[in-house]
Amino acid sequence: MSADSTSPNALARVRVVLVGTQHPGNIGSAARAMKTMGLARLVLVAPERFPHAEADALAAGADGVLAGAEVHPDLASAVADCRLVFGCTARSRRIALDEHVPRDAAGLLLDAARAGAEVALVFGRERTGLTNEELQLCHAAVHIPANPDYSSLNLAAAVQVLAYELRMVALAGVALDLQDAQREPPASHAQMESFFAQLADTLDAIDFHKGRAPDAAMHKLRRLFLRAALDEREVRILRGVLADAQRMARLAGERGG
């Protein structure tokens, strides 16, 4: 299974919304940033110039993202069907919103998208960002913790940061799905008890206790193996080791006899 085989459904529910973009080149660069990270839903709110040749040029192959871009007159209509909307903005106290760093925001957005919700990541104008009214349409804010001495971040660069974090969360989710699919079932209580019985017999066969009471050692070994949370395959391997140890103990006894 490829790394992207289970992530597109969630990523397809994520839209990147650019509000009032003034420079068409930024639209093209944002489309390119999106495509490199597997995002395709571009939504434009009242762009000053679009379509435009500069947007096409700077998309650099992300023509499909530009061609599929929706254009809306206002943010409310652009996110009307969304259940989770995050606004990417410089830290501000104008509007009381919860704030997230990009990685946390990406996780929350993709969790909602995996549950079937439409979600949006909103970016404001190059010079002035989002208005108070637009921020009020957002459930939370995303703040990129840039260098405070030089925190000016190009619109397309901000899109790239968030798109990257979304992709990393998506890939991490796929990796966990693959691990779950490949993981053996956990050993049952009965399987563990059979293993402990064979372990006790083996320790006796190799004279591990050397006359000492076996209970204390077995109690510690039980705790150790239970804490390890063995799966069925691991128990089979350990029982195979024990079976070989018992066989060797029998052979040694026969030679000694």
Cβ–Cβ < 8 Å for 44, 72: yes
Give pairs for 108-115: CB < 8 Å, separation 24+: 108/84, 108/140, 109/14, 109/84, 109/166, 110/10, 110/11, 110/14, 110/166, 110/169, 110/170, 110/173, 112/83, 112/84, 113/10, 113/11, 113/13, 113/14, 114/9, 114/10, 114/173
115 has a pLDDT exceeding 90? no
pLDDT tens digits, one per residue of 168-179: 998 887 544 545
Q: Please tell me which residue, 123 or 98, carries the higher pLDDT value.
A: 123
CATH code: domain of residue 94 = 3.40.1280.10
In a domain, 3, yes or no: no
pLDDT tens digits, one per residue of 218-235: 999 999 998 888 888 899
- Give the total number of structural domains in the chain: 2
Residues 181 and 6: their CA atoms lie apart, in Å, by 12
Beta-sheet pairing, 140-142 with 14-19 = unpaired
pLDDT tens digits, one per residue of 129-184: 999 999 989 999 999 999 988 888 899 999 999 999 999 998 887 544 545 555 67
- pLDDT value, residue 239: 95
Pair 72, 143 in one domain: yes
Pair 165, 221 in one domain: no
Pair 122, 12 in one domain: yes
| Domain assignment of residue 15, given as a range | 8-182
- pLDDT value, residue 5: 38
Short-list 18, 2, 27, 6, CA closest to 169: 6
Pair 136, 99 in one domain: yes
In a domain, 123, yes or no: yes
Q: Which of residues 127, 158, 182 is at a domain's end?
A: 182
Residue 80 Cα distances to 123, 157, 185, angstroms:
16, 26, 44
Mean per-residue pLDDT for 75-85? Answer: 94
- pLDDT value, residue 3: 38
The type of residue at 202 is: T
Pair 91, 28 in one domain: yes
Pair 165, 231 in one domain: no
Residue 100 Cα distances to 104, 115, 145, 172, 247, angstroms:
6, 20, 10, 19, 61
Pair 116, 164 in one domain: yes
Work out the mean pLDDT of the chain and round it to a whole number.
Answer: 89
Pair 207, 157 in one domain: no
- pLDDT value, residue 92: 59
In a domain, 2, yes or no: no
Pair 177, 100 in one domain: yes
pLDDT band per the 50, 70, 90 thresholds, residue 188: confident
pLDDT tens digits, one per residue of 17-76: 999 999 999 999 999 999 999 999 999 999 999 999 999 999 999 999 999 999 999 999
Residues 95 and 114: their CA atoms lie apart, in Å, by 29
Give pairs for 174-179: CB < 8 Å, separation 24+: 174/3, 174/4, 174/5, 174/6, 174/7, 175/3, 177/6, 178/1
Pair 22, 83 in one domain: yes
